[in-house]
Amino acid sequence: MRDYSRPVAAVLLLGLASGALWAQGFSGGLRAASILPGPAVKLQPGKTAEVSVAIQIRPNYHINSNAPADEYLIPTRLTWEPSGLDWKKTDYPEAETVSYSFSDKPLSVYSNKIVIVSHFAVPESVPASLKELKGKLRYQACNNRACLPPKTVEVSVPVLSR
């Protein structure tokens, strides 16, 4: 007769872990958008650098654009920590205008894959220790029937300063 003690214990642990995922507070739970890894950005002293952040949004979900159509909605926003570079501006992709059954007016949203591009002025003396740019992406996602809590996730883009 086979001994199933080990697989049973493993499955029970797995079940408990998934239960714990369900039970975590409102700020936890499903992540509707993922930041895709990108190549390192080469920094040239005295020039500008474009830093692209690609985001994959889960199928059947959308996130609000940077300029949502409703004042109550939470815009998608990418911010950067001080790094020694001069953050000039960020270009957000063109939003889709989509009508949903839950809204009187069409909403300005992103879905599928989007790319946000930030522009930095690179000083003449870039610190050699600068290996990455760190930022935060804030977004809020919904599907046709429900919304997930707003999320703020860490963004890290590797840079080559020499």
Partner 1 sequence: MFSSTKMPFLIALTALLGFASCVEDATVGDSTVQAASDNKELTPAPDFTLKDVEGREVTLSDYKGKVVLLNFWATWCGPCKIEMPWFVEFQRKYKDQGFSVIAVSLDDEGWEVVRPFTDEYELNFPVVVGTNEMADEFGGVAALPTTFIIDKQGRIRNSHMGLAGRGEYEEEIEGLL
**Interacting residue ranges for partner 1, rule: CB under 8 A:** 1-5, 7-8, 11-12, 14-19, 21-30, 58-61, 70, 72-74, 100-103, 107, 140, 142-150
Q: How far is the CB of 136 from partner 1 (least distance, A)?
A: 15
Distance CA 73, CA 90 (A): 20
Q: How far is the CB of 43 from partner 1 (least distance, A)?
A: 36
**Percentages (nearest 5) of helix, strand, coil residues in the chain:** 10, 40, 50
- Taking the least distance from each CB to partner 1, the nearer of 38 and 149 is 149
CB-facing half-sphere around the CA of 148: CA atoms within 13 A: 21
Q: For residue 93, how many other CB atoms are within 10 A of its CB?
A: 15
Q: For residue 74, how many other CB atoms are within 10 A of its CB?
A: 17
- Taking the least distance from each CB to partner 1, the nearer of 84 and 150 is 150
- Taking the least distance from each CB to partner 1, the nearer of 13 and 40 is 13
Q: How far is the CB of 137 from partner 1 (least distance, A)?
A: 16
